[in-house]
Structure 1
Amino acid sequence: MLSLPQSTEFNKRIPKQKFYDNLSVTPELKRVFVEQISVIYWRNKLATSTLNVGQGENVIELEVFEIKLNQPSLDIRVLQLIDKEIPYHILYLLEYDGEYQAWIGYKESSLVKENTFKVNSYYHTEWLPQESISLRLDGLTMDAVYEGFIRQIAWRRLEVEEESTSGERIGLKEAVERDDKRQKLLKQIAAIENKVNLEKQFNKKVKLNTELKALRKELEGLK
């Protein structure tokens, strides 16, 4: 499916109980693990020891987890919990009824707790047949391999960030931060558009439209 080198194959089943028994999981989230997930496999381990690439400054290893689902969606809190507790970067392959989604988070080391991470944003593909999930293994370091996966999976959400005003390619961190701002603005715009449609008073509608115009202008500046 991903055509990764045989040297990276791990193919170990991970009992889902390991996640909700050993980590700080609420009863509600434990129920999500039980009801939404069928089985979890650790498919690949990408590292300098398994690939012919250099060590990264931020990425030591990148694990590939395949999660087989009992339904066509997964509560994102599951991925957030796993990413928070496992001190490596992770590419997820969600499978349901023979189709797959690739998920990956932009993951940074936590400044609060050593050996833990925070994920600011997740990116994912559409549901696709197995043969259509194709990710290139690009880059000479683990940092570059990780960035390549994010840019391929995020696709249009980050592709507009190709160059800065100086003509140089915008770094991944800045591209992700700008996309985060864009997504927040889109949500704000949608909420105010809904208020405009429901508002009956002319003066309030004018005020809302003024806010809407300002937000749309700010959004245009991020494109």
Structure 2
Amino acid sequence: MHKLDKPIRLPESTRVERVIPKNKIYEASSVNAAVTTQFVAQLEQIKWANKLSAKTLNIEPSNAVPEIQVFELKLKGDVVDEKVLAAIDKAIPFPILFKLIRELDNDKTAEAESARREVQYVATYKRQSQADNSKWVTSFYAYSDWLIEQHDVAKTAQTESWRALPPAISMGELYRGILSLLLPYPLANGESLESAMQRIENIEKTERECYRLQKRLNAEKQFNRKVELNRNLRALQQELAALKTV
């Protein structure tokens, strides 16, 4: 289960609330026609919602993480392709926390006191390239579960319906805290984000290899061959357990 079980309420000091035209993203990331079609079909709106920085949060700056942008993506359907997320990440030279939004059927009468929607947070570990500081390198995308977000008319949502940003004294620490809420496996004490991303990628690769080997083992008829496959599978399972141990 993911650590993030409630929507995040961001400080008012970080608010931007600026709609970004889709064509600006197309131009900046040089997407092809297929991805442009996905933007149109899947996204109702792109909004630059918040800017998390040393200044807006009154915490220590970080050269590696100068700012974290929060982009709200209002979906037309239920999903957005990762090629769309990657295009936005390519266009924006800062780490991004995406907040995907899909509307629920709400009571639209004048008497309705609240509106509910589902939100999902998505991010990739994004860092400047060591070979070229003008370029950014990304890893895989990590997702929260879909969460119910409720807004009342007076904007006085119950505190228990939200959570705050992870506590942090610097932008680097905040970025680590945000990603740790989304990653499928916990970070080890003192483990760098780069090392953690590689370890998680290795976990997922080894899990796929275990699944493939288990299928071969189940289908094998020869006893000697089954013994060999089982030995290989147990070695992989031990390797997987070691990767997951933190």
TM-score by length of 1: 0.86
User: Residue 220 in 1 paired to residue 241 in 2?
Assistant: yes
1:200 & 1:28 partners in 2: Cα distance? Answer: 46
Q: How does 1:1-223 map to 2 (within 5 A)?
A: 2-97=8-103, 98-131=117-150, 134-154=163-183, 157-159=185-187, 161=188, 163=189, 169-222=190-243, 223=245
How big is the shift at 1:221? 1.3
Whole-angstrom distance in 2 between the partners of 1:199 and 1:135: 52
> Which of the pair has the greater relative contact order for Cα pairs under 8 Å at 6+ separation?
2
Contact kept, 8 Å, 2:16 with 2:48, in 1: the verdict is yes
CA distance in 2, matches of 1:73, 1:192: 32
Number of positions where the alignment pairs a residue of Structure 1 with one of Structure 2: 215
| Inter-partner Cα distance in structure 1 for 2:175 and 2:69 | 10
Aligned AA for 1:116? K
Segments of 5+ residues of structure 1 without an aligned counterpart are: 164-168
SS in 2 for 1:184: helix
Query: How far did residue 113 of structure 1 move?
Result: 4.2
1:141/1:46 Cα in 2 relative to 1: closer, same or farther (>3 Å)? Answer: same
Structure 2, gaps ≥5 residues long? 1-6, 104-116, 151-160
Measured in 2, the distance between the counterparts of 1:76 and 1:205 equals 39
TM-score, scaled relative to structure 2: 0.79
- Residues 209 and 26 from structure 1, CA distance in 2 versus in 1: closer, same or farther, beyond 3 angstroms? farther
- 1:84 shift after superposition: 2.9
Q: Is the 8 A contact 1:85 1:116 kept in 2?
A: no
Farther-moved stretch of structure 1 (129-138 vs 102-111):
129-138
1:100 is matched by which residue type in structure 2? V
- CA separation in 2, counterparts of 1:112 and 1:57? 16
Q: 1:200 to 1:144 in 2, by over 3 A?
A: same
What is the alpha-carbon distance in structure 1 between the residues aligned to residue 132 and residue 59 of structure 2?
Answer: 29
RMSD over aligned Cα atoms: 2.1
